[in-house]
Amino acid sequence: MRGHSEKSLLERRRLTQPYLKVREDPDHRSGFENQGRKPFARAAFALFLFKPKEAIKMKLFGVSVGEGNTKVGDVMTFSLPSKKTCPGASAWCLRHCYAHRYEQIRPACQKAYASNLALTQDMKAFSRLVIGILPRIMPSFRLHVSGDFFSADYASAWVRICSEFPQTRFWGYTRSWAVPDLLEPLERLREINNVQLFASTDPEMPLPPKGWRVAFIHTDARAKGMLCRAQNGDRLTCETCGYCVQRDRGHVVFKAH
């Protein structure tokens, strides 16, 4: 993405992706609707214009770290296999899982996520390893493009890791808040100053406890908050947007993939 201005890349994205607009009918409860081109035209344009950057991974001492993608930008990421590490996934989430679809077409990603999961068999060694290999100069880091916090020990490992990088802003979206045993370690994680953790929900899930930032799906009648700026065409990537990673901001609303 380097070498192009954000404006020109945004124009390209408008050609390829649907985006969300505030619905003009004030009586509509969720207040958001899809705009954009037909799916086939979008897919064809997207293949032409955007390199599938998600396929590129760095392997650092056995840990597969993503180097970003067309949505998050040039941001490091850490992922696990979808579905099997998602104890809080609702039936809706399992039906719409974009990460699972992506793994099916990118076997290299599937393999990298499985090898990351294997490292978590010894959680203390896992956190020591991640603390040892991540660069100290990262401005931000996205937790789980795929996968989720699958156990209390795993969430606690990220409490240790994030606490070691006070200069880095970590952010992620989780449905594991809906698993009673995982809520407490996730509360500890989101209490860390440099961590922004959203409770993902969907029309088939309840709302999280008070105090959580919520990631809604736009078809949810309860949806409120900032329409994802990358999906509504205002920003190219999370890297240039920064809304979710900033403290003291509100909820976010995503279009279902």
In sequence order, what are the beta bridge partners of 34? Answer: 20
Contact criterion met (CB below 8 Å) for 175 and 89: yes
Sequence-ordered alpha helix ranges (H) in the chain: 6-16, 39-49, 91-96, 98-105, 107-119, 123-133, 152-163, 180-191, 238-241
Measured from the CB atom, is 218 or 235 closer to ligand SF4?
235
- Interface map 214-243 toward ligand SF4 (x if CB under 6 A): ------------x-xxx----x--x--xxx
Q: How far is the CB of 246 from ligand SF4 (least distance, A)?
A: 8
Two tokens at 217? 């799906």
Instruction: Indicate whether 244 belongs to the interface with ligand SF4 (CB under 6 A).
Output: yes
- Identify the DSSP state of 26: T
For ligand SF4, the closer of residues 70 and 120 by Cβ is 70
Rounded distance between C-alpha atoms, residue 254 and residue 257, angstroms = 9
Smaller CB distance to ligand SF4: residue 112 or 252?
Answer: 252
Pairwise CA distance, residues 108 & 106, whole Å:
5
Nearer to ligand SF4, 203 or 242 (CB): 242
Smallest separation (angstroms) from ligand SF4 to the CB of 196: 9
Closest separation in Å from C-beta 142 to ligand SF4: 9
Minimum Å gap between C-beta 69 and ligand SF4 is 11
Please report whether residue 183 would count as binding ligand SF4 according to CB under 6 A. Answer: no
Pairing state between β 252-254 and 226-227 = parallel
Q: How far apart are CB 198 and ligand SF4 at their closest, in Å?
A: 9
Residue 252 touching ligand SF4 (CB under 6 A): yes
Instruction: Tell whether residue 75 is a contact of ligand SF4 (CB under 6 A).
Output: no
Shortest Cβ 244–ligand SF4 spacing (Å): 3
Distance CA 58, CA 141 (A): 14
CB of 254 to ligand SF4, least distance (A): 7
The residue count for binding ligand SF4 (CB under 6 A) is: 11
Question: Would you say 103 or 239 has its CB closer to ligand SF4?
Answer: 239
Interacting residues of 219 by C-beta distance below 8 A, sequence separation 6+: 30, 203, 256
With binding defined as CB under 6 A, does residue 197 bind ligand SF4? no
For residues 171 and 244, the answer to whether their CB atoms sit within 8 Å is yes
CA distance 1 to 123: 35
Using CB under 6 A, list all residues that contact ligand SF4: 226, 228-230, 235, 238, 241-244, 252
